[in-house]
Homo-oligomer: A and B are copies of this chain.
Amino acid sequence: MASFPPLQNDRLLRVARGETTDRTPVWMMRQAGRYLPEYQEVRAEHDFFEVVETPELAAEVTLQPVDRLPVDGAIIFSDIMTVPQAMGLEVTMVSGQGPTFPHPLETPDDLERLVEPDVGDALGHVFEALTVTRQKLEGRVPLIGFSGAPWTLMAYMVEGGGSKSYRHARAWLHRHPEAAKDLLRRTTDVVVDYLIGQVEAGAQMLQVFDSWAGLHGPDTFRAFCYPFLDEVASRVKSACPDVPLVVFAKNAHYALDALADTDYDVISLDWSMDPGAARDTVGDRAVLQGNLDPCALYAPPDALRRRVQHMLAGFGPHHHIANLGHGMLPDHDPEHARVFVETVHEQSEQMRTV
């Protein structure tokens, strides 16, 4: 492993490991992205996957929110589609539609088209981006790596892109349950290698995005989602015991208790979850992350501050990483992101003095 500058602000990692800190750390999902004019400038010259695949560009974009805002972490600019790409599927970014697969997995026979990648070859650009970014961060804040979760990646690979119902992917669970599990197992293997490789390249915390977990009911979650999420955590944890793991199983409200029994250190909550109720369910089994409704950033600053304060009060001062309940939106005002971050810092320090 390369040697990196010493870390100056380690609040994020300390809270993720269950320690207490002088204030609540904060970062934002999609904090590097379209709402930043400096990101738009980069994208005016380079298309989306060119930025993802060019380590210097990915590093530049990753650092933009850290240069602008007092966030307590940097998340590598990348995309969950890197894993399906590494498994041999073509993905293109279609403006207004998001990532799209020209040739999705339509039937179980299509599994033959998948390859078992060497992640160092297929995803070396992400590893290099992490190493370059970690150097350029100069220890200001920790660097977060990430991957899509097996089910969410399967949902895209079968559906072929964004969808309201993901009914093709969900149909597989009922029509081809064994092929679905085969696909999920193969995806799990790649995700595990990918996350371990990210740590070797410089990632100091890892988040697993199960963005489509909420498409399940409790039964299919138990059969097709949870086992693979759980396996990712236990295998990555045994390889990298010191690296905090975060899981974001969006809208899987019924899964909170089960997720608290996995090797994830942190459970990230979407904005539908009541912080106090979540704390009651999870107890001291995991740290909680989240969960301001991203649309609250549309509010005028004073109303936004009240909402942040209300959220912080719900979670309490400790064992909480402040974040949004989903990603930043393209028309958010960067100055409202600043209000969010600064209010978390100010209010969470005050909460500790009461």
Chain A contact residues, CB within 8 Å of chain B: 162, 164-165, 167, 170-171, 173-175, 214, 216-220, 251-254, 271-274, 277, 291, 293-300, 303-304, 307, 310, 325, 329, 331
Interface contact A325-B217, CB-CB below 8 Å: yes
The CB with the most chain B CB atoms within 10 A, among A173, A219, A274, is that of A219
**In the assembly, what is the distance between CA of A104 and CA of B170, in Å?**
32
Question: Given known contacts A167-B331, A217-B291, A217-B325, what 14 new A-B pairs fall within 8 Å (CB)?
Answer: A162-B164, A170-B295, A170-B298, A171-B298, A173-B295, A174-B295, A174-B296, A174-B304, A214-B251, A216-B272, A217-B293, A219-B307, A254-B274, A254-B277
Question: A307 — which chain B residues lie within 8 A by C-beta?
Answer: 219
**In the assembly, what is the distance between CA of A325 and CA of B307, in Å?**
32
Interface contact A272-B295, CB-CB below 8 Å: no
Question: A291 — which chain B residues lie within 8 A by C-beta?
Answer: 217
**In the assembly, what is the distance between CA of A296 and CA of B172, in Å?**
10
A253 is contacted by which of B173, B272, B300, B304 (Cβ under 8 Å)?
B272
Question: A304 — which chain B residues lie within 8 A by C-beta?
Answer: 174
Question: A164 — which chain B residues lie within 8 A by C-beta?
Answer: 162, 164
Q: How far is the CB of A109 from chain B (nearest CB, A)?
A: 18
Interface contact B167-A272, CB-CB below 8 Å: no
A167 is contacted by which of B218, B251, B295 (Cβ under 8 Å)?
B295
Interface contact B271-A217, CB-CB below 8 Å: yes
Interface contact B216-A170, CB-CB below 8 Å: no
State the majority secondary structure of interface residues on A: helix
Question: A296 — which chain B residues lie within 8 A by C-beta?
Answer: 174
Question: A272 — which chain B residues lie within 8 A by C-beta?
Answer: 214, 216-218, 251-254
Interface contact B175-A298, CB-CB below 8 Å: yes
Question: A303 — which chain B residues lie within 8 A by C-beta?
Answer: 174
Interface contact B293-A220, CB-CB below 8 Å: yes
Q: Which residue of B lies closest to A274 (CB)?
A: B218
**In the assembly, what is the distance between CA of A203 and CA of B226, in Å?**
43
Q: Which residue of B lies closest to A276 (CB)?
A: B218
- 10 A-B residue pairs with CB within 8 Å: A164-B164, A165-B329, A170-B293, A171-B295, A174-B303, A175-B299, A252-B272, A253-B253, A254-B272, A254-B274
Q: How far is the CB of A325 from chain B (nearest CB, A)?
A: 7
**In the assembly, what is the distance between CA of A41 and CA of B48, in Å?**
44
Interface contact A174-B251, CB-CB below 8 Å: no
**In the assembly, what is the distance between CA of A125 and CA of B174, in Å?**
40
Question: A170 — which chain B residues lie within 8 A by C-beta?
Answer: 293, 295, 298
Question: A217 — which chain B residues lie within 8 A by C-beta?
Answer: 271-273, 291, 293, 325
Question: A274 — which chain B residues lie within 8 A by C-beta?
Answer: 218, 254
Which 10 pairs from chain A and chain B are nearest by CB? A174-B299, A170-B295, A217-B271, A171-B298, A174-B298, A253-B253, A218-B274, A217-B293, A175-B298, A217-B272
Question: A173 — which chain B residues lie within 8 A by C-beta?
Answer: 295
**In the assembly, what is the distance between CA of A219 and CA of B253, in Å?**
16
Q: How far is the CB of A252 from chain B (nearest CB, A)?
A: 8
Q: Which residue of B lies closest to A275 (CB)?
A: B218
Q: How far is the CB of A250 from chain B (nearest CB, A)?
A: 11
Q: How far is the CB of A169 from chain B (nearest CB, A)?
A: 9
**In the assembly, what is the distance between CA of A251 and CA of B253, in Å?**
9
